[in-house]
Structure 1
Amino acid sequence: MTVQFAVAAEDFVQLVRRVPPERLDGPGLGEWTLRELIGHTSRAITTVTAYLEHPEPEELTIHSASEYLEVVLRQHGDDEAILLRGRAAGAALGDELAAEIEAMRVEAATAIAAAGLDRCIAIGGDATIAMRLGEYLRTRVFELTVHGIDIADAAGIAWAPAAAHVLDALHLAAANASARGTGIEALRLLTGRRPDAGLEGVLRSGA
């Protein structure tokens, strides 16, 4: 599946430009305000630049975006640390959120062009958790896509990410559900076997 980090990052900038300032201190997602949710999502851009500043690891330990979601997020994730980083990132954006994120986007694009997609990166600077930049960017598009939808919902904005990005996000979410032993339930939901999910028309013949 073809996903384009540059497109996802630019779409995110444009989405943030449309967020009403008066909504920023209102609900975002979970314990985050909308500003903090935007701050968390902006880290999908800044981590690219940050990880490319570290020395290149000698060998891969993570071979795909789906493996990243399972190993890094599930086995090494720290919900409290993620919450606090989102809050700090939101505060650091200041009053001109879109302008700050645009600068982050440009910096990341420059770093990616210089490195190339085959460059190996150490996640969080830890050489024992290493993957190809191209696969890491898929996880960044996943974050920008999923949280972009969250931001649009919280801000009351009609917004849709690129269809290819939605498809790849569905693929990664399904792979992660399967890895966690909940693949059958996810399949039931996606094929309308759980009517309360609002998907009863999925796979039904006719218009």
Structure 2
Amino acid sequence: VAGRTVRFDPVRLRTDYAQAGRALIGATAAVPPQAWDAPGLGEWTVRDLVGHAGRSFVTVSDYLASGAGRAVELDHAFDYGRALALVAADPTAVTERGRAAGRALGDDPVASLRTLFEQATADIAAHGDDAPCATLAGVMRLADFLPSRIFELVVHTDDLRRALDLPGEAPVGARVVALAFAAGLAGEGERYAAALRGLTGRAPLPAGYSVV
């Protein structure tokens, strides 16, 4: 898309990602032992939801590893919208990946999630902003991939808090990135006006409206 003016600060993104990750771990640590099999989101249990959210750690590590030495194909964070469209086209696969990720957390989901987070942040620290990540949408720079990870972390931490009525708020920097990312996807989509009207109180969002 020509003429993109929205850019994210790559230095700040690293901080926002870490803060969003810690917020997810904090919310997960507050899950009561008996609630892991409770409804989480849609067909997911709480365990499934947390497993899916944790993929925002796993994908950073995996995509950096698989992207090593490859040429960058996408040049903006909003290009990851292609991957979100592919995912939305196969909701059954998304559901199953979430369940598999939940099972992989094992008997101590919080400790497992923290390990994934520590690995992801270590991998980020070991790579520059231009490091290639082989994402579902194509190969993109680490700095362009992180906004989508922050978006996922903020959204799914909120899902978890809503499911179990847990207290807490997203870190300000992370939630600004999440909203800016969502607004960017909406702005480049055909239904941009619906998002703009909804955000400004002109009209309710249409039933089922989503940028992902």
TM-score, normalisation: structure 2: 0.84
1:132 offset after TM fit, Å? 0.5
1:117 offset after TM fit, Å? 2.0
- Tell me the distance in 1 between the aligned counterparts of 2:103 and 2:87: 25
The residue aligned with 1:74 is: 85
SS in 1 for 2:40: strand
- Tell me the distance in 1 between the aligned counterparts of 2:91 and 2:165: 26
Identity percentage over the alignment? 36
Provide structure 1 residue ranges, at least 5 long, that are not aligned to the other structure.
Answer: 198-207
Which one of the candidate residues 143, 149, 159 is aligned to 2:158? 149
1:87 offset after TM fit, Å? 0.4
The residue aligned with 1:205 is: none
Contact 1:57–1:130 (Cα < 8 Å) also in 2:
no
Structure number, greater radius of gyration: 1
The residue aligned with 2:168 is: 159
Contact 2:67–2:132 (Cα < 8 Å) also in 1:
no
Change (3 A) 1:24 1:190: same
1:37 offset after TM fit, Å? 0.6
The residue type equivalent to 2:203 in the other structure is R
The residue aligned with 2:4 is: none
The residue aligned with 2:24 is: 12
RMSD, aligned α-carbons: 2.0
1:196 offset after TM fit, Å? 8.7
Provide structure 2 residue ranges, at least 5 long, that are not aligned to the other structure.
Answer: 1-7, 207-212
TM-score, normalisation: structure 1: 0.86
**What does 1:75-114 correspond to in 2, within 5 Å?**
75=86, 77=88, 78-114=90-126
1:69-88 alpha-carbon deviations (Å, 9 max, x no partner): 2x111146532211110000
Contact 1:145–1:166 (Cα < 8 Å) also in 2:
yes
SS in 1 for 2:140: strand
Number of residue pairs aligned between Structure 1 and Structure 2: 193
Contact 1:44–1:140 (Cα < 8 Å) also in 2:
yes
The residue aligned with 1:62 is: 74
